[in-house]
C-alpha cells in the first residue's frame, strides 16, 4: 500500500435498513491527480466523496492521506476540502471577504488572513476583481472564488460533487477547460464527481467507474474507452456493442464465440464450452453492401441516422436488437444507405475484446 497520496482500503458504507451505498472500495490516488468518479445515479459517488471529506464515516475500512489516518477526523481538521454545489458564496461580501471568511472564523488576525486570502485569489487569477461582489462575476469566476476559498485552507485534495451540473452546455465546456487548467497550475489532487461520461473523459487523468456501490473499473480515459473490463463499463462508457455467447474454440491468442449475432473472433483466451462476452466499439464497426463474412459480421437494417457533426452514428437493428456503428460521412455516402435499408456490419478481430463474465 502506498504511503503517499489518498488511499481508500476496504471501505464500506452501509446505511440503516441494510442499504449498502459503498462496497469494498479499494483505491489509491496519487498526489496531483485529477480523478473523476463516474457512475449512474445512486451508485455511491456522493457517499464516497462524503467519506473522503469527513462528512460521513465508513462502516468499515480506512481512509489515509500521505499515510495519515483520516477516519474520525472532522472535515475542518482534514487536509481535504469539499467545494459544495452552487459554491455557497456570501452574496453581500466581496471576493476578498468571501475568501478570508473561513480564516476569520478560525480566529486568524486581519493582516495574516488578508495576506493569505490575497495569495489564494491571485492563484485563481482574480486579483483584479477582489473587491467585487459575487453577482458582479461570471459563473466561471464565481467558481474560482469558491476554489480560492478552499485553497486558503491549503488542502492536499479538493473534492467537487457535480461542480458543472447546473450550468448550460456552453459554460460547462468552458468550465471544464478552466477547472482542468487550474488544477494543473495548482498541482493539487482534484476528485470530481459526475454522471456525465463526456465530462469525465475530457477532464480526468483517471476515471473511477462506479456501479451498484462498487468500483467497476479504474483507468485513464483511453483505457476505459478501449478496454472496458465488463459489460457494465462497456455499456456505461457508451457506444459499445456487447455480444454474449458460448466459447467454441481458443487458439493462437484468439477465441471464437458463438453468439446470436453469428460467430465472433476476438483476442484473448478461454475454454471451449464456457460463456463468453465481447465488446466492439461503434467507431470500429464498418458498414458495406458486401455479403456477411463467416466471422465478425452481421446483416442489419438501418433504423435511423444521427448526425454528430464530425461523424455519423447509425442506429442499426439486428433481429429486433439494437446495434451501433459510427462512420464518417464519406463512408456513409459510399454505402448509399437510407433508413430501412439492409447493410452488412463488420469489424476486425483486433478491435473486439473479451469481457469479464
Ligand atoms: N443517508 C442515507 N441513508 C440511507 N440511504 C442513503 C443515504 N445516503 C445515500 N443513500 C443511498 O445510497 C445510495 C448511494 O447514494 P449516493 O448519494 O452516494 O449516490 P450518487 O452516486 O451520488 O447518485 P447521484 O448521481 O444521483 O447523485 C443510494 O441508493 C442512496 O439512496
Ligand atoms: Mg450524488
How much distance in Å is there from the Cα of 165 to the middle of ligand 2? 11
The domains of the chain, with CATH numbers, are 6-231 (3.40.50.300), 239-355 (2.40.50.140)
Residue closest by Cα to atom 10 of ligand 1: 21
Q: What are the backbone dihedrals phi and psi of residue 188, each rounded to the nearest 5 degrees, phi first?
A: -95, 150
CB distance 42 to ligand 1 below 6 Å: yes
Task: Name the band, by pLDDT with cuts 50, 70 and 90, for residue 27.
Answer: very high
CB distance 46 to ligand 1 below 6 Å: yes
Ligand nearest to the CA of 22: 1
First to last CA, the chain: 28
Mean pLDDT of the chain: 92
pLDDT at 208: 98
Distance CA 87, CA 79 (A): 19
pLDDT at 106: 82
- Give the position, in ligand 1's atom list, of the atom nearest the Cα of 37: 21
Q: Which of 19, 50, 53 to mutate to test the pocket of ligand 1 (most atoms within 8 A of CB)?
A: 19
How much distance in Å is there from the Cα of 224 to the middle of ligand 1? 24
Span 181-192, average pLDDT: 91
pLDDT at 143: 82
pLDDT at 144: 85
Neighbours of ion ligand 2 (CB under 5 A): 46
CB distance 15 to ligand 1 below 6 Å: yes
pLDDT at 163: 85
Task: Name the band, by pLDDT with cuts 50, 70 and 90, for residue 3.
Answer: confident
- Give percent above pLDDT 70 in the chain: 98
- Give the position, in ligand 1's atom list, of the atom nearest the Cα of 213: 14
Question: Exposed (0-12), middle (13-18) or buried (19+): which is 222, by Cβ within 10 Å?
Answer: exposed
Please give the torsion angle defined by the CA atoms of residues 68, 73, 77 and 80, in that order, rounded to the nearest 10 degrees.
Answer: 60
Which of 113, 115, 145 is CA-nearest to residue 129? 145
pLDDT at 1: 59
Which of 110, 357, 109 is CA-nearest to residue 234? 357
CB distance 149 to ligand 1 below 6 Å: no
Span 331-349, average pLDDT: 89
Residue closest by Cα to atom 24 of ligand 1: 41
Is pLDDT above 80 for 173?
yes
pLDDT in tens, 278-337: 999 999 999 999 999 999 999 999 999 999 888 999 999 998 999 999 999 888 888 887
Cβ–Cβ under 8 Å, residues 168 and 140: no
C-alpha cell at 188: 493539487
pLDDT in tens, 84-125: 766 678 999 999 999 999 888 888 999 999 999 999 898 888
**Rounded alpha-carbon distances, angstroms, from residue 175 to 85, 141, 171, 178, 244:** 14, 10, 6, 5, 40
How much distance in Å is there from the Cα of 188 to the middle of ligand 2? 22
DSSP symbols for 312-347: EEEEEEETTEEEEEEE-HHHHHHHT--TT-EEEEE-
Residue closest by Cα to atom 13 of ligand 1: 21
Q: Which of 11, 12, 40, 43 to mutate to test the pocket of ligand 1 (most atoms within 8 A of CB)?
A: 43
Which of 288, 348, 277, 352 is CA-nearest to residue 314? 288
DSSP symbols for 199-251: HHHHH-SEEEEEETTEEEEEE-HHHHHH---SHHHHHHTSSEEEEEEEEEEEE
- Give the position, in ligand 1's atom list, of the atom nearest the Cα of 22: 14
Q: What is the DSSP letter of 294?
A: S
pLDDT at 20: 97
Beta-ladder partners of 207: 36, 219
Distance CA 115, CA 126 (A): 14
What number of other Cβ atoms are within 10 A of residue 41's Cβ? 7
| Higher-scoring residue by pLDDT: 74, 169 | 74
Cβ–Cβ under 8 Å, residues 303 and 317: yes
pLDDT at 172: 84
Q: Which of 42, 195, 196, 208 to mutate to test the pocket of ligand 1 (most atoms within 8 A of CB)?
A: 42
Cβ–Cβ under 8 Å, residues 90 and 97: yes
Residue closest by Cα to atom 29 of ligand 1: 42
Which of 324, 327, 334, 323 is CA-nearest to residue 310? 327
Question: Exposed (0-12), middle (13-18) or buried (19+): which is 294, by Cβ within 10 Å?
Answer: exposed
Ligand nearest to the CA of 161: 2
Amino acid at each position: 500500500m502506498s504511503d503517499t497520496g489518498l488511499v481508500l482500503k476496504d471501505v464500506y458504507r452501509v446505511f440503516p435498513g441494510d442499504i449498502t451505498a459503498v462496497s469494498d472500495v479499494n483505491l489509491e490516488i496519487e498526489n496531483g491527480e485529477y480523478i473523476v468518479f463516474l457512475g449512474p445515479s445512486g451508485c455511491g459517488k456522493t457517499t464516497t466523496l462524503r467519506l473522503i471529506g469527513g462528512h460521513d464515516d465508513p462502516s468499515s475500512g480506512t481512509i489515509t492521506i500521505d499515510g495519515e489516518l483520516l477516519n474520525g477526523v472532522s472535515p475542518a481538521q482534514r487536509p481535504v476540502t469539499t467545494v459544495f454545489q452552487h459554491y455557497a458564496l456570501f452574496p453581500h461580501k466581496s471576493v476578498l471577504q468571501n475568501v478570508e471568511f473561513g480564516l476569520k472564523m478560525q480566529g486568524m488576525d486581519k493582516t495574516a488572513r488578508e495576506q493569505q486570502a490575497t495569495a489564494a485569489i491571485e492563484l485563481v487569477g482574480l486579483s483584479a476583481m477582489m473587491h467585487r461582489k459575487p453577482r458582479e462575476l461570471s459563473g466561471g469566476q464565481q467558481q474560482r472564488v469558491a476554489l480560492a476559498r478552499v485553497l486558503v485552507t491549503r488542502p492536499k485534495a479538493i473534492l467537487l460533487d457535480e461542480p458543472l451540473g447546473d450550468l448550460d452546455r456552453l459554460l460547462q465546456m468552458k468550465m471544464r477547460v478552466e477547472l482542468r487548467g487550474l488544477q494543473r497550475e495548482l498541482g493539487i489532487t482534484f476528485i470530481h464527481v459526475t454522471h456525465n461520461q463526456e465530462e469525465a473523459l475530457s477532464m480526468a487523468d483517471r476515471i473511477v467507474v462506479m456501479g451498484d456501490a462498487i468500483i467497476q473499473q479504474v483507468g485513464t480515459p483511453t483505457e476505459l474507452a478501449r478496454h472496458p473490463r465488463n459489460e457494465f463499463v462497456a455499456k456505461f462508457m457508451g457506444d459499445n456493442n456487447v455480444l454474449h455467447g458460448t466459447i467454441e474454440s481458443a487458439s493462437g491468442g484468439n477465441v471464437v464465440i458463438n453468439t446470436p449475432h453469428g460467430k465472433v473472433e476476438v483476442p484473448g483466451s478461454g475454454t471451449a464450452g464456457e460463456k463468453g462476452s465481447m465488446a466492439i466499439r461503434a467507431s470500429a464497426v464498418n458498414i458495406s453492401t458486401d455479403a456477411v463474412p463467416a466471422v465478425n459480421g452481421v446483416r442489419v437494417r438501418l433504423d435511423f441516422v444521427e448526425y454528430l457533426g464530425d461523424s455519423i452514428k447509425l442506429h442499426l437493428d439486428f433481429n429486433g436488437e439494437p446495434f451501433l456503428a459510427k462512420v464518417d460521412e464519406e463512408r456513409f455516402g459510399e454505402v448509399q444507405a437510407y433508413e430501412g435499408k439492409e447493410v452488412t456490419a463488420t469489424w476486425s478481430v483486433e478491435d473486439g475484446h473479451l469481457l469479464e463474465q
